[in-house]
Amino acid sequence: MNIFVVNCGSSSIKYQLFKWPSESPICSGLVERIGLEESIITHKVYVNDQEQVIKRVLDLPDHDAGMKEVGMLLTEPGIGVIQNPEEIEVVGHRIVHGGESFVETCKVTPDVKEEIKRLAILAPLHNPGHYVGINVAEHIFSKATHVVVFDTAFHSTMPEKAFRYAIPESFYNDYGVRVYGFHGTSHKYVSEEARAYLNKPDAKLITIHLGNGCSMAAVDGGKCIDTSMGLGPLDGLIMGTRCGNIDPSVVFYLVNQLGYDIAQVDTLLNKRSGMLGLTGFSDMRDILKAIDAGDKCAKLAYDMYAYRIKKYIGSYAAAMNGLDAIIFTAGVGENDPDLRAMVCRDMEFLGITFNEEENKIRAKGLRELSLQDSKVKVLVVPTNEELEIAKQCFELIQN
């Protein structure tokens, strides 16, 4: 079965094609700068563990043009992996926000599309692009079954005491103001990999997704009971450009005392804060270079970043009344040994004894970074959201 996984952003398309049941993609790609001059397509084909990269620069005015170009790359003589777009049997779409309407994967219908469009009020930067992507993909891959997989769905198992805000109930009942959580596809994938590795279906886990966006989840027996992001992706950990947890009084101060309007506050907290606001850099690699050069602001920001993670570990361990493992994943989580060490030091009270030497070794795949006598395991589990989407698509079609 050919399963094509698509992630449409406001100006981009990410994709992977799986020839199921193989869990390794036969091709993948990224279309960037849609709607701008000199759009970029990076297309990769995998044959016998060899990677062939095709890069093209051209003008793509909209997602329709971008998806058509992808369709041609999939079938192009010499690099094509299929003969005809009609060979794509399933298209899996990643959707950031499903609200309370979607708590599990489902097939695309006109009603489903309309609800995704309506939910754009909760995810204005993401859901409109997803909606456009579905329409375009339905046109290009007209014979395929289209499936939507929601980032918020994994967090739908949270109890009400965890997802409600302490504001008048009408805001929840009338407008859906509550904690939804994000990165759910990643948290689901790495938690299931960890449960299988530990051979413990009822494992109490804390998953730590650290990229430009960062979030954590408390996962008890495969079910999320709490997560760090909220109504939108601004809350929780310090991120590349987002502030994370902040006293709402700061917003009042910015507006009432400093003259900011709401749009300026939105830009400040979402796009100019986090590690960028503290250091001038949003990429952790640049921040580490600044630390090596003696930049005290960069060092403080790094300490704050790790400290916030440690606080969540403590609170989630308490919420689950125990802990079997913590899991680092995504770009920073998988590739920054110094950060992992900072988070795991001085955690013996929680049962974590960390293997500093093993942590320094660069390696691929799932690995354990705790000492043998550690009551709580420390794992690095590379995330694979596209594979998780393909899995969920296959399970839905089979059932």
**How is 233-262 classified by DSSP, letter by letter?**
TTSSS--SS---S--HHHHHHHHHTT---H
Q: How far is CA 28 from CA 13, 17, 42, 70, 382, in A?
A: 11, 6, 8, 10, 17
Count, residues in the chain: 399
Q: What are phi and psi of 298, to 5 degrees?
A: -65, -40
CA-to-CA distance for 91 and 77, rounded, in angstroms? 22
SS3 state at 390: helix
Provide the pLDDT for residue 185. 93
> Rounded to two decimals, what is the model's pTM?
0.91
Look at residue 63 in the predicted model and tell me its pLDDT: 86
The rounded average pLDDT for each run of 10 residues, N- to C-terminus, in the chain (399 residues) is 89 91 93 88 88 92 89 90 93 92 94 91 81 90 95 96 98 95 95 97 97 95 97 94 96 97 94 95 93 96 98 98 97 95 95 94 93 95 94 92
From residue 319, how far is each of 161, 181, 220, 315 by CA, in Å?
Answer: 11, 17, 10, 6
Burial of 147 (0-12, 13-18, 19+ CB in 10 A): buried
Distant-in-sequence, close-in-space partners of 232: CB < 8 Å, separation ≥ 6: 122, 123
Q: Residues with catalytic annotation?
A: 151
CB 285 within 8 A of CB 161: no
Sheet with 50-58, strands from edge to edge, namely: 50-58, 39-47, 25-32, 13-19, 2-8, 90-95, 145-150, 106-107
Q: Quick one: pLDDT at residue 268?
A: 96
